[in-house]
A and B are shown apart, each in its own frame.
Chain A
Amino acid sequence: MSVSGTQETQSTKESANGPLGEARHVRFLFLTIGPIIAALITSGLVLVAFGINPITYYTFVMQKGLFSGLGLEQTLTRMAPLLFLAAGLIVSFRAGIWNLGIDGQFLLGAVASAALAPALLGVVQGWLMLLLGFALAALVGAIWSILPALLRAYQGVNEIITTLMMTFLGVSLANVLVKLIFLDPDTTVPQTRTLPVVDRLPRLFDTTISSGLIWALGAVLLVHLVMTRTAFGLKLRTVGANPLAAAHAGLSVPRLTTAVFALSAGFAGLAGASEILGVNGNVPADWNPAYGLMVIPLVFLARFHGVGSIVLVFFYSALLIGSESAARRVGVPQDFTLVLVATLLIFLGLAEWLDHRRRKGSG
């Protein structure tokens, strides 16, 4: 006990003098920038093995995704659905719930908004129509999480399995809806009716950036503040950290669990709507961008932090846009981004392990 006591006084002294702040800085760099650099190098070695110059590839991707005007606009537009998904994941992960079903919730939200918006055109216009589209998408996304939510809250069934199952179901159901019910009779391409460009979310200023970006940024920041600064957020985090303690503290764990699912899936639905009402205008048959599995690692890497998630989503979005055109020009399939994200996850884990060991060793 005495040992830890002296150390405590030491660290208080240090923080007063400043060096601890510096140490925290170094630790942040080590835990966040370190894995990114290690992942870029390892994945670069994979490229070398295939006879591709990684520097050429990375430069090309950065030029396309970050430093060309149109590329940057595409990157910022692509961020909107990814950020809505990140908002949903921050809620569920901070509350200790593994919502791995966001792809299904995303797709059904997208289909719901794609079905509603063109149908409303003659009735309501402008903001009200878009608002209704977003609201329905959030509702449908939330509905798609009811079963996993109730099973987890009242039966204790592992949500990883149920949400994965609901995603498989949701992908097929979205296809059924597109092909059989909401099919556009006026085209031969199997897809839903197209929302005219003028009726979609407005673009920002004179660019091609969809204003969905603003709403998505707002969603992530709002979620971050609610989870870290409000009583409701504290309740959810308590449930996540220790359900037993939360129950002892008088919290209704099943009800809060259900709320987490509804919020998380609702944001996934909004992500779908932002892609349809902001950018694509319709849902083609067999469409599944599967953003979800990729956003999960990003939110993890940001340690469920809102601003951190925004920064990482920005770079990931640039990577997506850049690698799409690199697939055509440099001849590296876009699936390379999977390797990059996978190595990033592994190095993130390793960095945390090293950090944990170092702190245990010194403390």
Chain B
Amino acid sequence: MDGLLTAAFLSSLLTGAIVAGIPILLAGLGEQMSEKAGVLNIGIEGMMIFGAYLGFLTAWSTESLWLGFLGGMVGGMVVAGLMVLLCVRLGLNQIVIGIGLTLGAEGLTSLLHHFQFSRTYPRLPAPDRLDLAILTDIPVIGPSLFARHPIVYLALISVIVLTWAYKRTNLGLTLRAAGEKPAALDVSGGNVVRIRTVAVLFTGAMAGLGGAYMANIAAGLFIPFMTGGAGFIGIVLAMLARGHPLWVLIGALIFGVALSLTTALQVAGSNVPTDVIQMLPFAAVMLVLVIWGRKARLPAALGLSYERGAR
């Protein structure tokens, strides 16, 4: 086991943590805003897979990764738009519709891929990387941390921006009101439906971007069902983070490490079965819930649709 702490192992672990952690981070940040506003967004997995598909298709046909990311955000927002219409506007059950949207998006993208590419999986060219000159030359952490696609740094910056927005702006206050006591927001002249619409669309954009990152950067190709539960992990992170974007980031990196441990251990020559390692992040979440479960505070009006005058 002396190979475990070599530079190659640590480097591949760190790289893997970022590559696997970024989509979860984006999904978690998105879900966090929905939950703050009182919408439990179970459809996020569907938003990710649709974002992954549309993001890949855009990048593949335009040969531009940035347009690909835009396509991913649009894809996520299309699914989110349905969620807005059905759950925020009409007040249908958020869990039922969420499951429906996830199933539908998974099935539809699988069909689209089948009829377009049959059994082939075209690859995108390797992405450009931001090269931060001297920083990249630092051993071990240099190539992992400082030679990534710019979108990674934008995701990290969004953590800071969201923290500021939640704490210091009216938007943050309005979101919290919509999730805690929508009637109070309504009485004070706010618009519950509008703020929840914004929040769910934001979730769609972030989840779609996360999906596009998975397809375009992490994998370089689209495979049906490729999101594999990343959206559900995002939901868990958002629930555990108690409204703090920074906690979502920490959680996403921990998940990233656990998810990438398999590859890193293979680099180090160890042969722990992949299935055992794949259990780690989920076991960790359950452990966290057992210890701090009581503190996983959720907004009071989470999951409830708002209807003016209803009791």
Contacts and interface: CB of A to CB of B under 8 A. Distances in A.
Contacts of B229: 168
A142 B229 CA distance: 23
Interface string B33-70: 00000001010000000000000000000000000000
A158 B296 contact: yes
Contacts of A300: 96
A161 interface: yes
Contacts, number: 135
A212 to B, nearest CB: 26
Contact of A156 (B92, B106, B224, B294): B294
Contact of B290 (A151, A345, A349): A151
A166 B294 CA distance: 18
Contacts of A176: 273, 275-276, 279
A166 B93 CA distance: 23
Interface in A175-201: 175-176, 179-180
Grouping DSSP codes into helix (H, G, I), strand (E, B) and loop, the B interface class, with mixed when no group exceeds half, is: helix
A346 B97 contact: yes
Contacts of A161: 235-236, 239, 289
A158 B239 contact: yes
Given A169-B279, A179-B273, A50 B93 contact: no
B8 interface: no
Contacts of A180: 273
Interface string B271-283: 0010110110011
Interface string A259-291: 000000000000000000000000000000000
A162 B288 CA distance: 11
Given A293-B103, A335-B224, A353-B90, A164 B239 contact: no
Contact of A169 (B92, B106, B236, B282): B282
Interface residues on A, range: 35 or more
Given A335-B106, A339-B104, A155 B293 contact: yes
B279 A165 contact: no
Contacts of A37: none
B300 interface: no
A166 B279 CA distance: 10
Contacts of B278: 172
Nearest to B224: A335
A131 to B, nearest CB: 30
Contacts of A339: 103-104, 107-108, 111
Interface residues on B, range: 35 or more
Given A157-B296, A161-B239, A162-B289, A46 B115 contact: no
Given A335-B111, A345-B96, A165 B286 contact: yes
A343 B278 CA distance: 32
Given A151-B290, A349-B86, A336 B239 contact: no
Contacts of A349: 86, 90, 92-93, 96-97, 100
Given A162-B286, A353-B92, 20 more contacts: A46-B108, A147-B286, A147-B290, A151-B290, A156-B293, A161-B235, A165-B236, A165-B285, A165-B286, A169-B282, A172-B279, A173-B279, A175-B275, A293-B103, A297-B103, A335-B106, A339-B107, A340-B107, A348-B96, A349-B90
Interface of B: 40, 42, 82, 86, 90-93, 95-97, 99-101, 103-108, 110-111, 114-115, 224, 229, 232, 235-236, 239, 273, 275-276, 278-279, 282-283, 285-286, 289-290, 293-294, 296, 298
Interface of A: 46, 50-51, 98, 147, 151, 155-158, 160-162, 164-166, 168-169, 172-173, 175-176, 179-180, 293-294, 296-297, 300, 332-333, 335-346, 348-350, 352-353
23 contacts: A46-B111, A147-B286, A157-B289, A157-B296, A160-B40, A165-B285, A165-B286, A165-B289, A175-B275, A176-B273, A297-B100, A300-B96, A338-B104, A341-B100, A344-B100, A345-B97, A346-B82, A346-B97, A346-B100, A346-B101, A348-B96, A349-B86, A350-B90
